[in-house]
C-alpha cells in the first residue's frame, strides 16, 4: 500500500509552487498525494489521514504547520526554501534522493516535545496556544524594564527584572533561547529552558526544569506594549497582574530526519557549534 502524502507550501516562496508540481510528478508510483495546499491550512487535511506532511518552505513554515495540527500530529518532512533550514533538513534534491525512507521509514521520525501556554487575568483565560519552539515574554514599547515573578510547580523561585523571559522547548533551545545565552539541549530530551532576557542581576542565570513541570510567570510590572510571542509568529498582549502558564503538551511534534545527515548535523554544520 502506498504512503499517503499531503504537500503544503509557503505562499511567500515563489519557487515552492513550481517545486510542488515537480514533486507531485516525482511521487508517481511511490506515494499517493491526497492533497496539496498552503501551510496555514494544515489542520484541514488531517482527516485525510496522511502518513506524511511534506512542507515546502522553511523553519517558520514547519512551526506553523505543527501548531496547526494541534493534538493530531503527523510526521512532517521539511524541505528548505528559507535561509537556515535548521528544522527543514531536506533540500529538494535530498528529498528526491531519499524519498522512500522519508515517506515510510519509522526510524527517521524524531519525537520532540511541544509546550502549551495560556495567559489569564483574575482567573479568566485570555489566550491559549501551542509552541514548538518557545513562548517569549517581551518588555515591548516603551521598552522600560519589566518585573516578573517566576514559579515552578507552584513553588515561587524569584522575581526577575529585565527585558523579559524565554520559555523554550529543547527543539527551540537553538532559537531565541540561544540568542539570549540560554542552554542548548538535544532536541529529543524532555525539559523546559527558562532564560531571562537582559536580567538586571548577576545571579539570574538560565535554568532547565523537568519537562513535566508547570512554569508560571506573573507580570508584576510591564509596559503598554508588553506581549507574549509564540514561536516568533503569534503575539498575545499581557498586562500587569496577568499570569502566563506553560507546561508540556500531551502530543509530540514529529519531524522526519534526513537520513543523509548525522543527528548533530544541524548544530555543527548550520549553527557552526564548536567551530
Distance from C-alpha of 255 to C-alpha of 273, rounded to nearest angstrom:
22
210 assigned to active site: no
Distance from C-alpha of 166 to C-alpha of 175, rounded to nearest angstrom:
10
Cell numbers at residue 218, please?
506573573
Query: Which residues have C-beta within 8 Å of that of residue 128, sequence separation ≥ 6?
Result: 116, 117, 118, 119
Let me know: does 51 contact 103? Beta carbons within 8 Å: yes
Distance from C-alpha of 57 to C-alpha of 59, rounded to nearest angstrom:
7
Let me know: does 210 contact 221? Beta carbons within 8 Å: no
Q: Which of 86, 56, 73 is nearest to 253 (CA)?
A: 73
User: Of these residues, 59, 163, 242, 252, which one is catalytic?
Assistant: 59
Query: Which residues have C-beta within 8 Å of that of residue 47, sequence separation ≥ 6?
Result: none
Residues marked as catalytic? 59
Amino acid at each position: 500500500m502506498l504512503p499517503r502524502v499531503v504537500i503544503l507550501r509557503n505562499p511567500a516562496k515563489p519557487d515552492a509552487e513550481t517545486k510542488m508540481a515537480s514533486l507531485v510528478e516525482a511521487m508517481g508510483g511511490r506515494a499517493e498525494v491526497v492533497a496539496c495546499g498552503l501551510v496555514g491550512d494544515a489542520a484541514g487535511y488531517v482527516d485525510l489521514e496522511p502518513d506524511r506532511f511534506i512542507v515546502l518552505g522553511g523553519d517558520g513554515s514547519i512551526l506553523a504547520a505543527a501548531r496547526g495540527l494541534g493534538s493530531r500530529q503527523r510526521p512532517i518532512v521539511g524541505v528548505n526554501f528559507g535561509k537556515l533550514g535548521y528544522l527543514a533538513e531536506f533540500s529538494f534534491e535530498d528529498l528526491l534522493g531519499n524519498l522512500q525512507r522519508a515517506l515510510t521509514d519509522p526510524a527517521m521520525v524524531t519525537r520532540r516535545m511541544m509546550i502549551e501556554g495560556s495567559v489569564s487575568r483574575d482567573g479568566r483565560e485570555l489566550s491559549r496556544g501551542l509552541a514548538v519552539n518557545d513562548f517569549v515574554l517581551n518588555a515591548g514599547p516603551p521598552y522600560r524594564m519589566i518585573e516578573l515573578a517566576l514559579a515552578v510547580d507552584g513553588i515561587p523561585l524569584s522575581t526577575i527584572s529585565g527585558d523579559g523571559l524565554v520559555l523554550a522547548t529543547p527543539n527551540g533551545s537553538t532559537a531565541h533561547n540561544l540568542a539570549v545565552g540560554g542552554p542548548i539541549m538535544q532536541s529529543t530530551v524532555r525539559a523546559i529552558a527558562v532564560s531571562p532576557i537582559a536580567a538586571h542581576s548577576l545571579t539570574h542565570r538560565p535554568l532547565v526544569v523537568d519537562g513535566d513541570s508547570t512554569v508560571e510567570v506573573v507580570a508584576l510590572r510591564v509596559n503598554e506594549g508588553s506581549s507574549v510571542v509564540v514561536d516568533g509568529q503569534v503575539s498575545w498582549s499581557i498586562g500587569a497582574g496577568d499570569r502566563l502558564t506553560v507546561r508540556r503538551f500531551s502530543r509530540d511534534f514529529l519531524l522526519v530526519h534526513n537520513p543523509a545527515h548525522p543527528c548533530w548535523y544541524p548544530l555543527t554544520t548550520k549553527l557552526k557549534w564548536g567551530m
